Structure 1
Amino acid sequence: MPLDTWLLFVVTVFFVSATPGPNMLLAMTHGIRYGVRSTLPTCLGLLTALGIVMAGSVAGLGALLATSETLFAAVKYAGAAYLVWLGVKTWRARPEALTAPAAGDARNDSAWTKFRTGFLVAMSNPKAFIFFTALFPQFMDAHAAQLPQLITLAATFYVIESGWQFVYAAGGARLGSWLSSPIRQRWVNRFAGGAFVGAGVALSGVSRNG
């Protein structure tokens, strides 16, 4: 995989993962409620589900590429369009009130309960499968070995996502307070939305050479 393609993927994923979605908000609220160390089972549950989702997406993409390069190219263009649409939607998204669940008996939740909560939250979003199927092909060369490319993309996404989950958990109440500002939420949405749109537009051109 060319270095410039990988760096573009890193930048895109950096902003995508930074956007306050269900996974990050769960990590943040558990960080507020339990502290960083006790939130690790929650993050492990989130990341386990993420690994399953990526594995399913990667398996499907591998089978697709092996079956038809033309069909794979069609998926790349459709994925680029999806990224642009997602970017516009994210850019225009209205700031939402971020509130942490009330503490109390929840502080006694077991590590398994936290893991299960994280796992179910991450697995409950079927759009994740569509997202990975749309994102990964934009950075792949159909004429090069597919497995190394898929492993590189998946591992990169996993590392960045893990880092952001830790940041949200560690930031806890401070990050929650920072994101409570509608203006700051709007800027986060615009950065992420711009990253989506930029990736979709730029990579629709790159894919013509794939």
Structure 2
Amino acid sequence: MSFENLLIFIPACFALNMAPGPNNLLSVANATRYGFWISTVAGVGRLLAFVGMIAIAATGLAAVLQASLLAFYAIKLIGAAYLFYLAFQLWLAKTSEQEQKRPRVAKSLLALARQEFLVAAGNPKAILIFTAFLPQFVDISEAAAPQFFTLGAIFLGLEWLAIAAYACIGSHLRKWFSESRRQKIFNRICASLLGAAGVGLLVARRSTAA
């Protein structure tokens, strides 16, 4: 892999990491409720899902997903259903002063990480993005596996920065949304956006997801 390729890959990759999406929206919403560090650490769940997707792309198994209409739509329906579930939960989320001052951190951290994982894993477009994006920077004259490992590690590092950036936005919003009514409005805005993302996932065609 050439240094020139890396100079192109890194900014392009970071732009992809920073693009607004369900996971980044979830990081913002979680940070407004639980704070910067909880939201950032919960992003490990997303990274674990992406590790699996990178492995799938590296082994060529994503071609199975791209070729199988049934597999694509099954994952898509499950992912959309989970986004709708999160939207419903966030819409009805409690915003009392007591809950904001004493969040159930130990239990919430595991639950939030699981949410991040499931939102990422429930989007078949993410696997296809890895399939279409990463291979463009692989030198076919060299062994592919080490290059996928390097590119994947860079992607995950940049994704971690994106998680922190969105969590930082959420943590600053948290101060403004300390009032219960404002928090409720924000939760419902995020819930609506998550619901819209679920609708977008449902209407996405396989040909446009590649």
Establish whether TM, by shorter chain, passes 0.5: yes
Is the CA contact 1:41–1:112 (under 8 Å) kept in the aligned structure 2?
no
Alignment of 1:1-210 (within 5 A): 1-60=1-60, 102-104=93-95, 107-108=103-104, 110=107, 111-172=109-170, 174=172
Change (3 A) 1:142 1:175: farther
Change (3 A) 1:127 1:119: same
Is the CA contact 1:5–1:139 (under 8 Å) kept in the aligned structure 2?
yes
Find the counterpart in structure 1 of residue 82 from structure 2.
none
Moved over 2 A (4+): 100-109, 173-177
Change (3 A) 1:174 1:40: closer
For residues 113 and 164 of structure 1, the distance between their equivalents in structure 2, rounded to whole angstroms, comes to 20
Aligned partner of 1:7: which letter?
A: L
Moved more, 31-40 or 107-116: 107-116
For residues 24 and 172 of structure 2, the distance between their equivalents in structure 1, rounded to whole angstroms, comes to 14
Change (3 A) 1:175 1:126: farther
Is the CA contact 1:41–1:114 (under 8 Å) kept in the aligned structure 2?
no
Shift of 1:146: 1.2
Is the CA contact 2:36–2:171 (under 8 Å) kept in the aligned structure 1?
no
For residues 173 and 146 of structure 1, the distance between their equivalents in structure 2, rounded to whole angstroms, comes to 40
For residues 111 and 14 of structure 2, the distance between their equivalents in structure 1, rounded to whole angstroms, comes to 29
The CA deviation string for residues 39-91 of structure 1, in whole angstroms up to 9 with x for no partner, is: 24421111111111111111217x99xxxxxxxxxxxxxxxxxxxxxxxxxxx
Q: TM-score, normalised by structure 2?
A: 0.60
Give me the CA root mean square deviation: 2.8
For residues 174 and 113 of structure 1, the distance between their equivalents in structure 2, rounded to whole angstroms, comes to 22
For residues 145 and 133 of structure 1, the distance between their equivalents in structure 2, rounded to whole angstroms, comes to 17
Structure 1: give runs of 5+ residues left out of the alignment. 65-99, 181-210
Aligned length: 143
Identity %: 35
The CA deviation string for residues 11-46 of structure 1, in whole angstroms up to 9 with x for no partner, is: 101111111111111111111110012224421111
3-state SS, counterpart of residue 143 of structure 1: coil
Change (3 A) 1:175 1:51: farther
Change (3 A) 1:39 1:47: same
Change (3 A) 1:175 1:134: farther
Change (3 A) 1:160 1:175: farther
For residues 126 and 3 of structure 1, the distance between their equivalents in structure 2, rounded to whole angstroms, comes to 31
Structure 2: give runs of 5+ residues left out of the alignment. 64-89, 177-185, 187-210
Find the counterpart in structure 2 of residue 71 from structure 1.
none
Change (3 A) 1:103 1:170: farther
